[in-house]
Amino acid sequence: MKYLCPVLFLVVIACRTSTSPDDEIDHKTVDCSTVLKDNTYQAADTLPLPISEKDIPKTFEESLSSLDKLLNSKQKAYWRCHTTNEDITAWHFGIGSWLRNNWRLYAETNLPKSLVEMGMLHPDDMSKIILTSYVRQLRGEEMKVKQQIESHRQLWQRKGIDVDSLQTGMMNYE
């Protein structure tokens, strides 16, 4: 029994000081061919539910910061290594749904209101622009947020939607 306490102490210390494999990955320099072949990186669109209202970002900038805190190194590497618009579009029903549902992009909350003020019109557009911008940020690229917003607005206009009136109505909705 007198040896049990020191052994338990050492076990606890060893467990507390060990690093997880995720902590050992430098998402900025990891080889993308490895990332795209390794199935352990592919769980990248699974995020925890926000614990409370305070976990939901209130602005576009906060949404990027929140994603950065929520993702581990493997997830960041996975996202950084996807280079095409089709890759990001494919996340619509995974991480895109997570953003729309858990950050309440369909609700009258601060985040969607601030995104509408920027010119975004639909929660699908909001989640796509957030994801595209975050991936570009991970790669050290210019986010081109205004161009992304304009591209989505043009899609709505081609469908016959008066985007300016829609945006005004959304901003005045109480």
Do 110 and 58 touch, CB atoms closer than 8 A? yes
Question: Whose CA is closest to 67, among 149, 143, 119, 157?
Answer: 143
Which pLDDT score, from 0 to 100, does residue 62 have?
97
Residue 23 located in a structural domain: no
Average pLDDT, the chain: 79
Residue 26 located in a structural domain: no
Residue 143 located in a structural domain: yes
Question: Whose CA is closest to 79, among 116, 126, 25, 155?
Answer: 25
Chain centre to alpha carbon of residue 164? 27
The domain in which residue 79 lies consists of: 33-41+55-172
> Residue 12: is its pLDDT beyond 50?
no
Residue 83 located in a structural domain: yes
Residue 5 located in a structural domain: no
Residue 12 located in a structural domain: no
> What is the average pLDDT across 8-37?
53
First vs last C-alpha separation in the chain: 67
> What is the average pLDDT across 5-10?
35
Indicate the pTM of the whole model: 0.78
Which pLDDT score, from 0 to 100, does residue 35 have?
75
Which pLDDT score, from 0 to 100, does residue 57 have?
96
Residue 100 located in a structural domain: yes
43-101 pLDDT, tens digit each: 545 667 666 888 899 999 999 999 999 888 888 888 888 766 767 777 888 888 889 99
Residue 142 located in a structural domain: yes
Q: How many domains does the chain have?
A: 1
> Residue 169: is its pLDDT beyond 70?
yes
Which pLDDT score, from 0 to 100, does residue 40 have?
58
Measure Cα distances from 1 to 7, 13, 15 in Å: 10, 19, 21
Q: Is the pLDDT higher at 132 or at 14?
A: 132
Q: Using 50, 70 and 90 to split pLDDT, how confident is the model at 137?
A: very high
